[in-house]
Structure formats: C-alpha cells, structure tokens
Amino acid sequence: MRIYKRILVTFLMMGAASSGFAQSWDNSGNGLLKGTYYFRHVLWFLSSDGSGDLGDALTVFNTITFDGNGNYSVNGATVYDAASGPISNLSVNGTYTIAASGYGFMDNPASQLIGEEYGITLSTPDQIYGLVANGIFMGTSSENANFYTDMFIAAPVSNATVSSLSGTYAIAGFDSPTGSVGDVRDFLITGSADGNGNFNASSTSGYIGAGGSTAIRQSIGSVKYSFSNGAGSINFGNSLTNVENDAALVAGIHYIYISPDGNFIFGGQPQGWDMFVGVKAASSSASYNGLYYQVGMDMDESQLGTSGSGFQDAYFSAFKAQSVSQQRVNSAESTDSNGNIIPFDFTFIDDVTVNSNGTADDAQSGQHYVFSSNGKYRVGIGNSPFLGISAALAGPTFSGSGLALDPTGLVNAASNALFTSRIAPGELVTVYGQTGSTLGSGSAESATFPTTLDNDQVTVNGVNAPILAVNECGGYPCVTFMVPYETISPGIADIQLLNQGKSSNTISAFVGYTAPGLFTLPQLGAGSGNMYYAAAEHADGSIISSSNQAQVSETVAVYLTGLGIMSPAVADGAPGPTNPTASPVNAITVYVGGVQATTTYIGLTPTVVGLSQIDFTIPSGVTSGDNVLEIVGPDSDTYMALISVGTATNASARPRTSRRALQRKPVNARLKPMKRPATQ
C-alpha cells in the first residue's frame, strides 16, 4: 500500500439522496437561449437488415424561438423524409433546461415524427442533450431508445446579407445520398467568398465508404450564393448519381446559416439528410487552449470490405485542449443489463497536433480540424474508414467571489474527466471555485473523510458528502469529496457547498452506473500521446514505471475511483471492508494495449477510505513499452493512462479508433422495418 500514500500525497500537492430531496437540473442558464434561431436537425435511422444502411432519414430545419425561460416554439419548419420526400410543415412547442455551464437538454422537436417512423406514440418526447456557447446550441439525442443517430445545431437569426459571407472558409460535410453504407461520404471544401455572391472553391476532397482509403477530389470552381432574411443559399452545381463509386462528394443547393459574428456557418440540402459545418478559416496557427464544447456524427466503415456493415453514432462532448476529453456517445449498441439503451461516456486524452496553417490533426479520432480566424470555432472531418464531421465552440469562463462554484469545474478526482461525464456513487470528485472565489477559510486534508472539513460541507441531493480535501488546485480553490452511495443512478445530482451558514450556487451533474478514473503519477513524466502513467504496482509494492516494467503473465494492481455501487453495501466514508471485500455490482473489463486482461480482484481497497483497485494479469499479445490501460464499464470507457510492459510478444492490439467496438450487441430484432431512402 505504499502507492496509496504516493497517490494521496501527489494528489493533495497537485490539488487534486435522501428520499425527500427533489432532484432538478440547474436551469439558471435558460437565458442563454433567447430569441429566434435558425436550426438544422438531421436524424439517421438504422435499417433492420444489419447492414448498417439507413432505414430512413429525416431533416427538419427553419426557425425555432426560445423564450429565455425554458419554453420554445417551432412554427412551420420544413421536414424532409428520405423515404417519402417533403412532408407537411412542422409546428410544435417544447421545453428546454440549460445550466449555467451551458450544459442541458431540450425536447426533441422531431419526437412526433420519430413516433410516426415507428408507428407508435411517444409517451414523452425524446431529449436532445447538448451545450451552449457563443450563443449557439449543439447537441444530439444521446438517450434515445429508438436506434437513431442525430445532430442538432441552432444559431441566432442575424441580419446577415451577401456581404456577411466574405473571406476564406473551410466547410466540412457528411452525407449518404442513397442510404447505403458504402455511399456514406465526408468532404472538406476550402474556398473564398467575395462578399458579392461569388464563392470560389479552391479545393474539395474527402472519402466515400466504398472507396476505402482512397481520397476523392472534386473540382467545383466558382459558384454563386445569395442571402435573404438572414439565411443564405449556395449552389455547388453538378449532381450525385447515387452510386457508391460516384466521384462527386457534394452537389446541388445547400442552405447556409451563419453565426452573428460571421465566423461559423452550418446547413445542408433542402431535400437531403446531410449536414455541413464551416468556419471562417485562420491563415496561420490558431489559438488552441482552454475549454471547448463539441458535437459530432460519424460512421465506422472499417468492416465494410468484409461484412458490408457499418456502425454509426453521434456524440456531444467537452474537452480541454491538449488535456482530457470526453464524449457522451449516442450509440444503439450501448445497453444496460435489461437491454435499455444508455448513453456511453468515453474519456480520453486530447492528442492534437496544431499546424502552422490554422489546421490540426487528432491522433485519437483521426479527424482533421480547421480553426476559425478568431479561435472560437473548430470544424473537423474524418479520415477513412472513420468518416464524419464535428463542430466545436470555445467554452465559457466564470468569475465570482465567496462560495462561487465553477459550473464547468466538476471533475473526476483521478482522471479529471470533465463535468459532462456522469458521476457515480462512491466516486471521488473535485469541484473548483470560480476565478476570485474562496471555498473555505484555509487549507485542510483528512484521509478519514469527515463530512465537515475547514468549516465546509458538501451536499449531494441533500446528503452530506465525505470530504477529503479543501485546497488549491492549479491556483483555483477546490474541494474534493466522495459522491454518497445513496445517490441514485441513473439520475441527477445537485451539488452545493455550505460554509458557516452561507451557501454556494448549485451545480448539476448526471449520475451513471460507473465512472472509472485511473489515478496517475505525473512525477514519472508523460509517455506517448500526452498520457501519464497509471498508479500501478508490482506484488512487492514497488511502482511500475518505464524503468521497473510490468511483465507478461505478471499480476499487478492499479488504483482508481468511480466503480459505482458496491456489494456488500459500504457506508459513506467508510474504509473498504476486508471480510468479505466489497466488489462493484456492475461488470468492469480491463484492456492492456487493446488486449483483454484477466482480472483477479475488482473492488474497494481493503482498510482504505476512498480508493478502489483492480488486480489483473498482463496478457500475452501486448507490445513492449507503453501500453494504454483501458477500463470499461457498462456505460463508460476511460482510455487515458499508460502502463509500461517489458518482455512481451508482438500481436495486433485493438486500434484506438475502434474503442467502442467491444460495446456492440445485436440490435436487429428491435429495429424498425427498413425503408430505403429515396434517391436525390
């Protein structure tokens, strides 16, 4: 247990529900959405034949009006059904709830249409979960139970005219003109708008699923665009012939919506089920730091050549540039033990190389990014075989005095997984104060986890949480505490800080089954991919490092938090029991370099408060050197710490970009009958 002292000391140096309490999501950010917005919502439905093709697709677009108090209305939106073409306009009212961080959810405006797709009436609307920044809302229906993936973007209606579209732009698009998995394509257009209705596309390239790793290049040249009522239209000419080897990536009329500052655009075809996102492109290395909010939609076509199948999903996320990143994934193949679809949290390191020309390349996702000239926006395009697009917005910052919690400052105490990740009962988490705030009268730590420390109390849904430390973390005040085991999952956790009769603002987090976060030892230095080494030890208690490597067939221990509910039950703040020991009720799987490891113990560390451990055997088939240690639960995957392995055999490990393959389960029996999309 020498490593426990090292974890605790290092962590502290770095700064690292009762039945009567009503859980409610923070709605203090509702005013972030107020006024009339242009929106585009694209929904892709899986077919029932297991091919990965689209069974149907919907596009809904026009305007949506938010009242700033949690209500919205859509009046006369255009709906395009891939199977039946344009249908009657959509008018619907709904609600939304946005936290101070910009994180929240809204009724899916297309819920009625979704019900019609399945021949059912949805008892409650599906929810779009997402984030607001720079006045723009982006999200996806990550909790939907109807096996579709979608992408929603809304930006305020502005007084945009032809002159508003002026300068060099990069436009990333994603489409499947026929609905065939082999026909899925993404593209990146770079070109210049002259502010007078002329757009010259200097370069257009991308990938088509059936084309494999061969990049497709298309010549577009000079085309026309126009604006009316703050929205635009651009005609790329040409046509798509609806065959998988079509050399054209993009064609026809596309509607354009533009952010009020002119640096971000999005849209798509009026009679199509595509989406594009674009930025007024930087000409030199862009500023890339701090917090970002992101949404994306993609298709894994890595199996196309062998089985003809594809795997599609959508996600929203928050990430810190060159640090921790998280995706909340909408995947029809992530289910709980009862077969219910559950959102999936994927946590990893943002391993991005920023180039000198305003672009960047992501080693984790394989996407190529382009930044806006003001650094507030980023768009991305996938590379074969992982096709797709993404859009990211610079996140907000907060300042305040007294007991002012940062709405974006709730993180896993071990991995620093961000506030958009769900928390789990028993997890150690850290909450940060806003710039200028004070969260206590001084600095204190206690490995006994009292419920009052430095006059501070933390409540989670009204239950006092055990506290490890009140400290400074990177120059910001912070409090580290244990999520009470009474916290119901899945659900919502309302978190508040109390100090001598004063109360902080309340911040909200979603609660999941598991939220594994590995402790790391930064003093060992960073390894590959900006990752630190996991806090792991040999059987003799010595630390595993690049100079004291683990060996194949050796059983080692790694330390973490966030394994969720335990059996037998453990009291809040109590040490791990010894006889019997406490194990998680949810299944946990370990991978070393992509190779599944055999576990011999998973549970709370006996006699120690606030620490979990996994004992596992280094499997054969890993490569020598740094290997990613991946911990997977039913609703989570953390992929952000290293373990160094010595003597090893060479074998093919599961590649990074197929990180969600292990979660896949047969879903065909629960899908709707396939409706082949109409041709364009």
387 shares a domain with 255: yes
480 shares a domain with 423: yes
Q: Where are the beta strands (DSSP E) in 109-211?
A: 127-133, 136-140, 148-156, 166-175, 185-194, 198-208
Q: Is the pLDDT of residue 652 over 50?
A: no
84 assigned to some structural domain: no
279 shares a domain with 382: yes
Nearest CA-CA partner of 353 in 282, 293, 284, 285: 285
The pLDDT of residue 135 is 95
Q: Is the pLDDT of residue 292 over 70?
A: yes
Dihedral-angle region of residue 272 (phi above 0 means left; psi in -120 to 50 means alpha; beta otherwise): beta
Annotate 327-345 with three-state secondary structure. Answer: EEEECCCCECCCCCECCEE
Q: Are 143 and 127 in contact (CB under 8 A)?
A: yes
Give tens-digit pLDDT for 126-163.
Answer: 999 999 999 999 999 987 877 788 999 999 999 999 99
535 shares a domain with 504: no
pLDDT band at residue 21, thresholds of 50, 70 and 90? very low
Q: Is the pLDDT of residue 241 over 80?
A: no
136 assigned to some structural domain: no
Q: Which domain holds residue 437?
A: 2-21+398-511
Q: Quote the DSSP letter at residue 543.
A: B
Q: Is the pLDDT of residue 210 over 60?
A: yes
The pLDDT of residue 43 is 94
Amino acid at 81: D
229 assigned to some structural domain: yes
Cis amide linkage into residue 490, ω under 30° from 0: yes
- Report the run of H or E that residue 317 belongs to, with start and end: strand 311-320
Number of domains making up the chain: 3
Residue with tokens 């029991």: 577
pLDDT band at residue 591, thresholds of 50, 70 and 90? very high
127 assigned to some structural domain: no
Of the residues 479, 511, 543, the one at which a domain ends: 511
pLDDT band at residue 341, thresholds of 50, 70 and 90? low
Q: What is the mean pLDDT of residues 589-593?
A: 97
278 shares a domain with 194: yes
pLDDT band at residue 676, thresholds of 50, 70 and 90? very low
The 10 Å Cβ neighbour count of residue 504 is 24
The pLDDT of residue 269 is 95
Region of poorest pLDDT, from 209-213, 275-279, 443-447, 468-472: 209-213
- CATH code at position 586: 2.60.40.10
Q: Is the pLDDT of residue 385 over 60?
A: yes
Q: Is the pLDDT of residue 116 over 60?
A: yes
User: Percent of the chain beyond pLDDT 70?
Assistant: 87
Q: What is the mean pLDDT of residues 30-48?
A: 93
Task: Give me the phi and psi of 530, to 5 degrees please.
Answer: 65, 15
pLDDT band at residue 433, thresholds of 50, 70 and 90? very high
320 assigned to some structural domain: no
543 assigned to some structural domain: yes
The pLDDT of residue 118 is 73
422 shares a domain with 367: no
433 shares a domain with 527: no
424 shares a domain with 523: no
499 shares a domain with 556: no
Of the residues 511, 539, 570, the one at which a domain ends: 511
Give tens-digit pLDDT for 148-207.
Answer: 889 999 999 999 999 999 999 999 999 988 888 888 999 999 999 999 999 999 999 999
How far, in Å, CA of 270 to CA of 255, rounded?
Answer: 7
pLDDT band at residue 312, thresholds of 50, 70 and 90? confident
In sequence order, what DSSP letters do the residues of 567-636 get, joined into one string? ES---TTPPBPSSSPPEESS--EEEETTEE-EEEEEEEPBT-SS-EEEEEEPPTTPPSEEEEEEEEETTE
Q: What is the mean pLDDT of residues 108-133?
A: 88
The pLDDT of residue 179 is 81
Of the residues 453, 485, 511, the one at which a domain ends: 511
How far, in Å, CA of 94 to CA of 41, rounded?
Answer: 15
488 shares a domain with 366: no
Q: What is the mean pLDDT of residues 312-337?
A: 80
571 assigned to some structural domain: yes
454 shares a domain with 378: no
427 assigned to some structural domain: yes
526 shares a domain with 504: no
